Amino acid sequence: MKTKATLKKISSRLNLSISTVSRALKDHPDISTETKQRVMELASLLEYEPNTYAINLRTNSSKLLGVIVPVISTYFYHSFIASLEEEARKMGYSLVIFQSADDPAIEQENLKLCKQNRVAGLFVCITTYTKDISSFLKLNEVDIPVIFFDKVPPYEACNKVCFADADAAAIAAEKIIQCKKKKVLAIFGNAELSTTKKRMKSFREVFSSKAPQTKLNIVYANSFEEAMMQTYTACSGTERPDTVFCMSDEILTGAMKAVHRLKLKIPADVALISVSNGFIPRLFDPEITYVETSGAELGKLAFKRMMDHFGGKTFIQELHIPSKLVEGNSI
Amino acid sequence: MKTKATLKKISSRLNLSISTVSRALKDHPDISTETKQRVMELASLLEYEPNTYAINLRTNSSKLLGVIVPVISTYFYHSFIASLEEEARKMGYSLVIFQSADDPAIEQENLKLCKQNRVAGLFVCITTYTKDISSFLKLNEVDIPVIFFDKVPPYEACNKVCFADADAAAIAAEKIIQCKKKKVLAIFGNAELSTTKKRMKSFREVFSSKAPQTKLNIVYANSFEEAMMQTYTACSGTERPDTVFCMSDEILTGAMKAVHRLKLKIPADVALISVSNGFIPRLFDPEITYVETSGAELGKLAFKRMMDHFGGKTFIQELHIPSKLVEGNSI
DNA sequence: ATGAAAGCGCTAACAC
DNA sequence: GTGTTAGCGCTTTCAT
C-alpha cells in the first residue's frame, strides 16, 4: 500500500518546516508567494489530503452530522434525509445515518455511536415509544446541538422542526366541507403519537364548528394493511362514506388498495384526500388531492436551524413548516 | 460546556499512569483486579467515552463506511441503504451517505469527502454517465476496499455485487410465454445502462428461441412520466398489447398510472409483469407479479463482501443475487 | 517570512 | 502490575 502524503513528508522534501507547509496550504498571508507555489505543487503531485482525524483531534470538532430515524425506507424519511444530504454537502458536512427500527433501545445504541463518532450535531426523529429524552439533551451540554424533527417529544424544552400538524388536518377538513361531503371516513395513524393527536383534534374541531351535521367515522390504522382493511370494511357496507381522509402516505396506499379492490370510481363513488409527502398521490389516476408535508422542505429547515445553531443562535425554538393544499382530482 | 473525560483526567484523579488506565479499560490481563475496578468505576462516573479521533489517528483506521448512490429517494436505494445500515450497526460500523444526483462531477466530490472522512470502505452505485472509474480504484491502492453495487462498471476488474440481470429478465419472459401471451409491450430503462442492456438482451433471446411468433414492442423510458406515456400510447391504440413488461419499479408506477387512466382491467384487459424491489407491486390490486431484485438482499451481500475484504479476502470478485418470481394476480 | 515546540487523546513498545 | 516514552498528523503560539 502506497503511504499517504503528510505535512511532514512535504516539508522534508522541500526543506521547510511543517508549520510553513501547513500555512502555505492554507494560503496564509505570512508565506511568500514563491514558497506557496512550491508547496502547492508538491502537495498536488503527492495528492496530499489533510488527515481529518488529526484535524478533528486538534480542533476538537468534526464535519459529521448524525441522523437517527425510525426507518429509512419509508415514504417520508428518505426524502428528509435526501434533502438534508444535499444541504449538508454544500456546506462541507457529511451525514452519518442510523435507524432505530422504532425501538428505544436501538435508538440509545445509535445515540452512543453518534457520540463515539463525535458528530458536530444531531438530527433525530424519536421512536413512537421514546418517553425519556434526557440522554439526547445531554448532548446539548457538551455543545452538540440536537434538533428533533417530525415526531418530536411533546413536553421538554428542545429544538424542534416539524409540520404545522393542526393546520394540515384543518386544511383537509375544510376542503372536505367545501366540497359538501357528508359522510367521512377519517383514518389516522398511531394514536399515541403527538402528531396524530394534533391532527385529529384539529380535524374534529373544524367539523364540529363548521359542519357539525357531517357524519364522521374516525378510525386508527397502524399499518398499510390496517388502513386497507379499515377502508375495505367501511366502503363495502351499505353505508359507504363519500370521502376517505388519510392522515399519511402509508394510510393512503392502504386505502387506495381497498378502493381498487372494490373497483370504486374516484371521486364519483368515493372521494379521497390525504396528508402526504407528495410522491404517492401522483402515482394514481386521478391524482389524489393532498395537504403537503414535504420531507424535503423539513430537511432544509432542519439543516438551516443547525447552521444557525453553529452560528451562535443557540436558543431553543420550535419551527413549523406551513401546510398547503395540492389539488388533484380525487375530491 | 462540561469538558469530556479523558484517560489523562482519570489517571491523575487515581494517581495512575495513563497507560494503566488505558489497559484497565481494555481489561488487559496485566492489570490487577482492584485497579481495574477503581478505573472502571471512575470512568463510568465521569461518563468516559474514548475519543474516536485520537484512536483513528493512532490506529489509522475508522469504523466509517461510505455509501454513494445517485439518489436516496428512489424505490431501490433506500432499501439497500437501510439493510446496509442494519448490518453495519451490528458490527460497530457507521454509514456516511452521499448522493451524486446521477452527476459524475458531484460523484467525484462525494468521493473526495469519503477520502477526507477516511472511510474504511466504500460502497458505490455509479451514475448513469460515469465512464472513468480510475479515481475509485485508486482507493484500493490505499487499502480502502471499493464495492460497486447495482449499476456497476461494465469493463474494469473491480468488486461488484449486483443482480443476475439476465436471469431476471429471462424469468419474466418465460412467465409471459407460459401464460400464452402474444403481444408484449416491454418497457426498459435508460438504454445506456449495462443493467438495461443485459436485461433486454436476455429478454429478447428467450422470446426468439422459445416463442418467436410473439409480437414484441420494445421501448425505453427514462422516467415515470415516459413510462406512463409509452404505456398510454401503446394501450389506447387498436393494437393494444395483452401484456406489459416493466423493467423497474419506476417504470411500473408509470405504466400503472396509464392503466388506471385507461380503466383497463388487470389482467383481463392487460396483464402486467415487472422486475421490482417488491414494495410497489403490493400497493396495487390485484398485486403485480414480479421478479424480485431485493435491495435489502443486495445490501446484506454487499456488507458481507466488505467484511470478507476486511478479513483478508481481498481478491476481486463479482457476486450476483439470484432472481425469483413472486406471483401476484396481474398475469 | 519561517521555524521550534507544545499538545490534542490515545496506543504500544519497552522499561522496571 | 505499572510507568515512561514516543509518536500518529495537525494547528497554533511564540520566537527569530
pLDDT tens readout for residues B118-158 = 999 999 999 999 999 999 999 988 889 999 999 888 877 89
Best mutation site among A81, A85, A229, A263 for testing chain B: the one with the most B CBs within 10 Å? A85
- Asked if B6 CB < 7 A from strand C, the reply is yes
* Mean pLDDT across A274-278: 94
Among A23-32, B158-167, B226-235, B315-324, the range with the most confident prediction by mean pLDDT is: B226-235
pLDDT grade for A2, boundaries at 50, 70 and 90: low
Q: What is the pLDDT of residues B4-31, one digit of tens each?
A: 889 998 998 889 889 999 999 988 888 8
- Asked if A32 CB < 7 A from strand C, the reply is yes
List of E strands, B54-189 = 64-69, 94-99, 121-124, 146-149, 159-163, 183-188
For B:36-55, CB contacts with A below 8 A are 49-54
- Give the count of Cβ contacts less than 8 A between chain A and B: 131
Q: What is the pLDDT of residues B250-294, one digit of tens each?
A: 999 999 999 999 999 999 999 999 999 999 999 999 999 999 999
- Answer yes or no: do A99 and B116 touch at CB < 8 A: no
Contact A88, A95 (CB under 8 A): yes
Question: DSSP string spanning A249-308?
Answer: HHHHHHHHHHHHHTT--TTTT-EEEEEE-SSGGGGSSSPPEEEE--HHHHHHHHHHHHHH
Range scoring the smallest mean pLDDT among A8-17, A256-265, A298-307, B175-184:
A8-17
Q: What is the pLDDT of residues A27-51, one digit of tens each?
A: 888 888 888 889 999 999 999 999 9
Beta bridge partners of A262: none
CA dist., res. B294 & res. A246, Å (int): 29
- Answer yes or no: do B53 and A62 touch at CB < 8 A: yes
CA dist., res. A249 & res. B106, Å (int): 31
Whole-number percent of chain B with pLDDT over 70: 99
Picking from B298, B108, B92, B260, the residue whose alpha carbon sits closest to that of residue A283 is B260
Distance, CA of B6 to C1' of D5, in Å: 19
User: What pLDDT sits at residue A261?
Assistant: 93
- Answer yes or no: do B72 and A81 touch at CB < 8 A: yes
The DSSP 8-state label assigned to residue B288 in this structure reads P
> What angle separates helix A33-45 from helix A7-14, to the nearest 10 degrees?
120
Residues 6+ apart with CB under 8 A from B189: B195, B196, B220, B221, B222, B247, B248, B250, B251
pTM of the model as a whole? 0.92
The nucleotide closest to A11 (CA, C1' atoms): C3
- Please name the member of A101, A141, A257 whose beta carbon is closest to the beta carbon of B285: A257
Sort out which chain A residues have CB atoms less than 8 A from B59's CB and list them.
none
**Rounded to 5°, angle at Cα A127 from A132 and A189:** 125
- Answer yes or no: do B260 and A284 touch at CB < 8 A: yes
Q: Chain centroid to CA B211: how far?
A: 34
For B:131-160, CB contacts with A below 8 A are 141-143
pLDDT grade for B2, boundaries at 50, 70 and 90: low
CA dist., res. B84 & res. B100, Å (int): 18
Q: Does A81 touch chain B (CB under 8 A)?
A: yes
